Amino acid sequence: MARDAKKLKPVKEFKPLITKSDELPLDPERLRFMHETMVKARCLEERLIAMYKSGHGYFWIGGPGEEAFNVPLGMLIKKGQGPAFDFCHFHYRQSATLLAMGEHPLGAIRQMKNTATDPYSGGRNFAGHFSKREWNIAPVSSPIEVQYAMVCGTALAQKRLGGDSISIVTGGDAGTAEGDFATSLVWSSRPGEELPVLILVTNNKWGISTPYGQVQGVERISDRGAAFGMRAKTIDGNDPISAYLELKEAFEYVRTERKPYLVEARVSRLYGHSSASGANFVTAEADCLALFEERLDQHGVRSKDEAKRLRQKYTEEFAELARQAKEEPFPDGGTIWNHVYAGEPGKDPLAD
């Protein structure tokens, strides 16, 4: 017999952090870059959703609603290949971070369409599953939280190397229930062997359909850092300015102290979990882009009209890129044997 829903524990009230500050303590140029990248990211995700809805992709998952956190994150990353640069162990909501790092949006569109030209997986993996070795972006994979088990490995190599590069890991709130989250806390804080890891959690208070407060009792996920003697904080991920400043402080600490920092960012989820839940815009959650545009307009940094024009421009641009991707071929079935083993030609091992 199904359990009476009423007997379930009530969902704990979740208090979003909105730190209303009217100051804009960043230079206008940076603010405009931030805003434009947020617009780009939103338009890209909306294009991917449109592609899904019109049959040009099998599944959509991405990060609309998290731009105010993900763009500043990308701006602070020291990109490059190898342990002298930052390593990125991301999950599937990081498109805005990649755009802020300078990535071209066509790749995401090609991955959505699973074309052979998809630069991240050659048509093998879902949308938002980036991988870019030139920039130390480890392949995004679907199993929740595994990236938290890997992040200490790259950080260990970086610590040994000296220098200021760090390893960054992102994931959601629900995933922190997995043991791999604890792995990142334990392994990054071994006494005397602390590692330069920036442990990030974007708390949108949902794991698909399950409210955070129903299944976890820790009010602030960042509190879990305290037991490990780790610096930690919960920040407003809906405000790009405070997110930038808070992240900057955390980045600087990890870069110079070579020790871990845990940051929980409260964010919105504006198109639901994924295409499996419809991918429709939700109005009940704060829209970081709209809020930011309001402030930029008030402070004369960028008018609403200008913001609108940017949105239009990118909407059209990405529609054009999608048309381009639609003409590109899918990978050939015979390529399934490629890249099973490095340095070896791909072939069916049982064919003779």
Partner 1 sequence: MAQAIRMALHYAEEHLGVTDIFGEDVGPPLGGVFTCTQGLETTWNSPLDERGIIGTAMGLAMAGARPVAEIQFCDYIYNTIDLLKLAGNTLWSSNGQWNLPMVVMTPVGSGIRGSIYHSHSFDATMSHIPGWKTVMPSTPLDAYGLMLSACREQNPVMFLIPKALMRVKGDEPIPGEPADEKQLSKMIDAPLGDRSKWKAQWPELSDAAIPLGKAKLVRQGSQLTVVSYGRTMPLVKKAAETLAAEGLDAEVLDLRTLWPYDWDAIVESVKKTGRVLFVNEDTEVTNFGEHLARRVTEKLFYHLLAPPKVLAGKFVPGIGLADTLEAASVPQQGDVDAAMRALATMQP
| 40 vs 129, beta carbon nearer partner 1 | 129
CA 153 – CA 183 distance, rounded (Å)? 11
By the 10 Å C-beta count (0-12 exposed, 13-18 middle, 19+ buried), 94 is classed as buried
232 — phi, psi (to 5°)?
Answer: -160, 150
CA 325 – CA 127 distance, rounded (Å)? 14
- Which of 105, 128, 172, 196: binder of ligand TPP (CB under 6 A)? 172
The candidate with the shortest Cα–Cα distance to 239, out of 94, 14, 35, is 35
Q: Is residue 266 a contact residue for ligand TPP (CB under 6 A)?
A: no
- Which of 54, 142, 214, 280: binder of ligand TPP (CB under 6 A)? 142
| 172 vs 240, beta carbon nearer ligand TPP | 172
Residues 288-307 touching Mg ion, rule: CB under 5 A, are: none
Q: Is residue 149 a contact residue for partner 1 (CB under 8 A)?
A: yes
From residue 252 to residue 291, what is the string marking binding to Mg ion with x (rule CB under 5 A)?
A: ----------------------------------------
Unique residue bearing structure tokens 């938002």: 128
Q: Which range binds Mg ion by CB under 5 A, 26-34, 206-214, 289-297, 335-343?
A: 206-214
Closest approach of partner 1 to the CB of residue 154, in Å: 4
Beta bridge partners of 199: 169, 262
C-alpha Rg value of the chain to the nearest Å: 21
What does the DSSP 8-state code read for residue 44?
Answer: H
Q: Is residue 271 a contact residue for ligand TPP (CB under 6 A)?
A: no
Q: Is residue 301 a contact residue for ligand TPP (CB under 6 A)?
A: no
Angle between helices 28-53 and 67-76 (to 10 degrees): 120
Q: Is residue 146 a contact residue for partner 1 (CB under 8 A)?
A: yes
Q: Is residue 341 a contact residue for partner 1 (CB under 8 A)?
A: yes
Element containing residue 181 per DSSP (H, E): helix 179-188
Q: Is residue 103 a contact residue for partner 1 (CB under 8 A)?
A: no
Instruction: Let me know: does 249 contact 261? Beta carbons within 8 Å.
Output: no
| 156 vs 201, beta carbon nearer partner 1 | 156
Closest approach of ligand TPP to the CB of residue 11, in Å: 15
Q: Is residue 64 a contact residue for ligand TPP (CB under 6 A)?
A: no
Instruction: Let me know: does 350 contact 137? Beta carbons within 8 Å.
Output: no
| 12 vs 273, beta carbon nearer ligand TPP | 273
Strands 87-89 and 167-169: parallel
Closest approach of ligand TPP to the CB of residue 142, in Å: 5
| 172 vs 196, beta carbon nearer ligand TPP | 172
Q: Is residue 259 a contact residue for partner 1 (CB under 8 A)?
A: no
Question: Three-state DSSP class for 58?
Answer: coil
Instruction: State the distance between the two ends of the chain, measured CA to CA, in whole angstroms.
Output: 55
CA 273 – CA 294 distance, rounded (Å)? 26
Q: Which amino acid is it at 28?
A: P
The candidate with the shortest Cα–Cα distance to 275, out of 95, 59, 85, 87, is 59
- Which of 141, 216, 315, 324: binder of partner 1 (CB under 8 A)? 141
Q: Which does 339 bind (CB under 5 to 8 A by kind): ligand TPP, Mg ion, partner 1, none?
A: partner 1
Question: Three-state DSSP class for 266?
Answer: strand
Chain residues that interact with partner 1, rule: CB under 8 A: 82-83, 87, 89, 118, 120-122, 124-125, 129, 131-133, 138-139, 141, 143, 146, 148-158, 167, 179-180, 183, 186-187, 190, 338-343, 349-350, 352
Chain residues that interact with Mg ion, rule: CB under 5 A: 172-174, 204, 206
Chain residues that interact with ligand TPP, rule: CB under 6 A: 93, 142-144, 171-175, 204, 206-208, 273
